[in-house]
Structure 1
Amino acid sequence: MNFHRGSNPYVGQVSLKVQQLERSLTFYKEAIGFSVLKQTETTADLTADGKTVLLSLEQPDNVIPTPRKTTGLYHFALLLPTRSDLANYVRHFAELGLRIGSSDHLVSEALYLSDPDGNGIEIYRDRNPSEWTWRNGQVEMAVDPLDFRDLLSHEEEKPWTGLPADTVMGHIHLHVSELQTTEKFYSKGLGFEVVNRFGAQALFISSGKYHHHIGLNTWNGVGAPKPPENSAGLKSFTLIYPDEAARNRVVANLGQMNFNVHQEGSGSIATTDPSGNRILLLVREEISI
């Protein structure tokens, strides 16, 4: 089942603010394997397939480092097509001498690292949904050690050539200031469903019974403030809805709940979650796929 091209909402693109654009471009091209689709002196659009923007970078004026203990990005996650692709990344990162984290989440296998500004990145592959375990509407996930020996036995003998063209933005995980109002915003407002509660400090939401399109946590502290506008970190992310009618329902829901929604000059509709994370609401016809 395709959880990132179907009739349910999903995360399409992430936009980041960085301190030094050229430094970030070197990292994202050489370490992660993106190609540059479009670039100016202060911005760049990055792609895996040569047409679809997955990640945008911007160097704001008077940019400052991301403050500690604020809301914003925990990590964005790139979903690879196959397990052998993930194994190839293990070898690639080892050759570059990059320090990485790793985990077996039961539903997926993942590698973790950060860009030069400290923005978190996950690169992962999904297990087949038939292997996921659901109990009472909740999907079982864990933070188990990754079996590198077994993973690397699936490595293909071919040179690393960057992100596979079929890579998608699998999910985004956010630092938020609290969970109660945030849950209402994302579920009743945006139309997602809570599919896993990780204690009292994190929850995971999805559409179409995916293991999660969005993670939300208070690990930076309940009441964490929004970072300054000119700090490095998350600028925005997009949610892709199947059609205009679906997006209109979301806009109406958010309005009834007294959340701010407004149309921007580009024609996109923007909103902000209770912790200040900015979201652009798009329909599939408005993007390249």
Structure 2
Amino acid sequence: MNIDLTRRTLLRLAGVSSFAAAAAAAARAEGNAAGGGPTFASRTPMRVGMVTMRVRQLDPIADFYRDVLGLTVMERSGTAALLGSGGVKLLALEAHPDAATESRSAAGLFHTAFLMPTRKDLARWLVHAAINRVPFSGFADHRVSESVYLDDPEGNGIEVYADRDPSLWQWSAGTVTMATDQLNIDDLLTLTDTRASDFATAPDGLRIGHVHLRVGDIAQAENFYHGTVGLDPTRRRNGASFLSSGHYHHHLGMNVWQSAGAGRRDERATGLAWFSLEVEKQDLLAAQQERLRKAGAQLATVENGLEAVDPWGTRVRLVKV
């Protein structure tokens, strides 16, 4: 497979005729946002740890994340699967065969963003996915990162991406510059062999760089995730808000593009069960707990931390690492 054939394959798998159209599709999927990076993102005082999802068909979904993303199956039973990379737990799947499918207009998961350690890793994965005829939903250059979008077999959104060096990010008055431009596929593919895949498993440094949520109201979401959880705003536009820890471009995205006015989530439906934010310092965790308690948030104790429930029923675990 040469580069030209790979380009045609990528376009066909994305269902578009040009990479400009693919960037437009990514804009619809991401709302002019950005991605995340493992090295910098994982050194911040808070960072994303795990995502846990309720799925109807456990085996096909677990196989998808193993075969397409290259995650390692660390534990598996008839009712659950745990997958990760480099011995680090990243994704848990819970089987709920009779669950209703969560509506895209409900609050919940917009996408899970898997962060490649390097740009070359992203290129290697892209060739692997294309050779295996994985359907894509968009490609984009977000200026701080380069991203590819797709869905798992039950419609859960996925972003796979690599960060540019943080020294290249542009900040002004606490706001980071991000866009949804056309991804330079030719330049990306110069980093790897396009004739065959050498991507058997995900690199050890793969992490979840950020989680993007559907919420019912941006101001209410910011009050919870900024005001009580303590993430810092980095960008707000077009019905979306982005927050981070430690001057990262964002660990958390939130939007109301399809879910404005959404009410409480149905915990019996498919989709996001909970995600975790890893907290480095005990005093930070204690301050979070106190703010959440004063705000009247629903709280529960979990191993090494606590679980809080946002205004729409999405559960976030704050855990000491």
**Same fold judged by TM-score > 0.5?**
yes
- Aligned pair in 2 of structure 1 residues 4, 130: CA closer, same or farther (>3 Å)? closer
Check if 1:159 corresponds to 2:195.
no
TM-score under structure 2 length normalisation? 0.84
1:253 and 2:291 matched:
yes
1:182 and 2:218 aligned: no
Q: Secondary structure at the match of 1:145?
A: coil
2:107–2:216: 8 Å Cα contact kept in structure 1? yes
Give a deviation string over 1:121-151, Cα, whole Å, max 9, x none. Answer: 1110000011100011100000111110111
Kindly indicate whether residue 270 of structure 2 is the aligned counterpart of residue 232 of structure 1.
yes
Is this contact kept in 1: 2:45–2:281, CA < 8 A? no
Q: C-alpha offsets along residues 242-264 of structure 1, whole Å, 9 cap, x if unaligned?
A: 12221111000111222222214
**Contact 1:3 1:208 (8 Å CA) reproduced:** no
Partner residue, 2:261? 223
AA of the residue aligned to 2:60: R
User: Which residue of 2 is the match for residue 31 of structure 1?
Assistant: 68
Aligned-pair CA distance for 1:222:
1.6
Write the distance in 2 (CA, Å) between the matches of 1:56 and 1:73: 14
Question: Does 2:94 align with 1:58?
Answer: yes
Pairing of 1:86-125 with structure 2 (within 5 A): 86-100=122-136, 101-125=138-162
What is the aligned counterpart of 1:212 among 238, 244, 250?
A: 250
Q: Distance in 1 between matches of 2:145 and 2:44?
A: 22
**Whole-Å Cα distance in 1 between the matches of residues 297 and 268 of structure 2?**
24
Counterpart contact for 2:116–2:205, Cα < 8 Å: yes
Q: Say if 2:54 and 2:272, in contact at 8 Å, map to a contact too.
A: yes
Q: Which amino acid aligns with 1:233?
A: G
- Give the aligned residue type for 1:66: E
Aligned pair 1:85/2:121, yes or no?
A: yes
Contact 2:307 2:317 in 1 (8 A): yes
Aligned to 1:145: 182
Contiguous gaps of at least 5 residues in structure 1: 285-289
Paired with 2:314 and 2:40, the residues of 1 have a C-alpha distance of: 23
CA offset at residue 2 of structure 1?
Answer: 4.1
Q: Deviations over 1:153-183 (max 9, x none)?
A: 1125761112101111100000000011210
Aligned length: 281
Give % identity.
35
Aligned counterpart, 1:22: 59
CA apart distance, 1:227: 3.4
Q: TM (normalized to structure 1)?
A: 0.93
CA distance in 2: counterparts of 1:132 and 1:26, whole angstroms: 36
The answer to whether the 8 A contact 1:67-1:227 is kept is no
Residue 42 of structure 1 and its aligned partner are, at CA, apart by 0.6
TM-superposed CA distance for 1:66, in Å, is 2.0
Indicate conservation of the 8 Å contact 1:4/1:168, yes or no: no
Choose between structure 1 and 2: higher helix proportion.
2
Which residue identity lines up with residue 318 of structure 2 in the other structure? L
Following superposition, the deviation at residue 61 of structure 1 comes to: 5.3
RMSD: 1.6
How big is the shift at 1:64?
A: 2.1
Whole-Å separation in 2 of the counterparts to 1:115 and 1:155: 25
Paired amino acid for 1:21: L
Shift of 1:5: 3.4
Quick check: 1:194 aligned with 2:233? Answer: yes
Structure 1 residues 225-282: Cα deviation after superposition (integer angstroms, max 9, x where no partner)? 3332221110000011112221111000111222222214x45411011122111110
Match of 1:129 in 2: 166
Supply the distance in 2 between the matched residues of 1:30 and 1:39 (Cα, whole angstroms): 15
Return the alpha-carbon distance in structure 1 between the equivalents of residues 191 and 312 of structure 2: 41
Return the alpha-carbon distance in structure 1 between the equivalents of residues 245 and 44 of structure 2: 9
